[in-house]
Amino acid sequence: MKEGIAQEETRNDVLKLLAVIFVALLTIGTAGFMILKGLSPWEAFYQTMIVLLTHFYHEIKEPFLVQIFILILILGSFIIVAYVIKFFAEYLFEGTFKENRRKKTMDKTINAYHDHYIICGYGRVGKQIADELADEKAKFVVVDRDKTEIDEATERGFMVVHGDPTEERTLLKAGVLKAKSVIVVPGSEIDSLYIVLSARSLNPDVYIIARAGKEEGMAKIKKAGANKVTMPEQIAGYHMATMALRPAVVDFLDVIIDGKHDELQIEELQIRPGSEYINRPLNFYLTQIDNGVAVLAINRVDGNTKVNPGGSEILSLNDRLILMGTRDQLEKVTDKVAS
């Protein structure tokens, strides 16, 4: 916005300068013809206008000084015309050039992304997801076939890909081969199915979360390759019922889930290859961090979850620890767990 205002002010300054130069040439030309040729003010003004506007002088046999003077006027007029043409060309084509330059910069940024999130669909749910990821300062790309939605996401400063997310080429452009997760929330359940199939075929390891409109659709999307399938209406209904039944519990969960609160948060950390905690008991990990972080659960590779695990639980490669603590506490243990 500020850049556009600055460019508009620059254009206005250039136009004002061109107007001043034209008036100066007209004044100098009129005075020059009056002095050099002895013309009346109107004849001198008329002759100057002809030279400036046509770049042509009908009388060839003139004194050398008059010829030089006419050439100077013509040259000055050419400069004004050149700037006017440049101004209108920029005015007409600058939007296209600027758009192409923005797209190239965005494509370069997306190509450099890895372990990022891809949001397929920028409707009501997609916008909420984008806002949450932005609050967490996570890297993500918005994909949508609707130009209006893409323009809105661009205005928000998000990385975008304008295209059909059901097509493999669109997902490849969004960096699905290096993505950490694909979040599938288009308006159609059929689209969700196709997107999941395409994403899974392109990247067997990417974590896919998809939205379903009906319960029967959840099983189909799961079979297509989604790791998790949700129904927003079902989640909202459960959340509201829990609010009515156990409001204090919901308030507590909202605090620890909401990334805007620093006092208490939940984080998921994976035991990666090379970690010193592989095949060690949980107690070994707890004694290493010793900073108040609580281990709420261990999500095993085989899909089982151990809630409130004991210290004797053995950690394995790719186990995921569900930790609770303050943001500072969790940041201090991230490197220890992952490496």
**Which residue type, as a one-letter code, is found at position 304?**
N
Q: Is the pTM of this model over 0.75?
A: no
> How many other C-beta atoms can be found within 10 angstroms of the C-beta atom of residue 196?
26
Please name every residue paired with 160 in a beta bridge, in sequence order, or none if there are none.
142
Q: β-strand 305-307 against 294-299: which pairing, if any?
A: antiparallel
Instruction: Delineate the domains of the chain, giving CATH numbers in brackets.
Output: 2-109 (1.10.287.70), 114-236 (3.40.50.720), 246-338 (3.30.70.1450)
Both structure tokens of 255: 């605090």
Give the chain's mean pLDDT.
81
Q: Is the pLDDT of residue 305 over 80?
A: yes
232-285 per-position pLDDT tens digit? 777 667 667 877 877 777 676 666 666 555 567 777 888 888 778 888 888 877
Both structure tokens of 220: 């189909």
58-89 per-position pLDDT tens digit? 554 667 677 677 767 777 777 777 777 777 66
Give buried/exposed letters for 79-106 (b at 16+ CB in 10 A, else e): ebeeeeeeeeeeeeeeeeeeeeeeeeeb
116-129 per-position pLDDT tens digit? 999 999 999 999 99
In the three-class reduction of DSSP (H, G, I as helix; E, B as strand; rest coil), residue 208 is classed as strand
How far CA 124 is from CA of 121, 177, 187, in Å, comes to 9, 26, 9
CA distance 94 to 154: 18
Please name every residue paired with 324 in a beta bridge, in sequence order, or none if there are none.
266, 294
User: At residue 3, what are phi and psi to the nearest 5 degrees?
Assistant: -65, -40
CA distance 239 to 110: 35
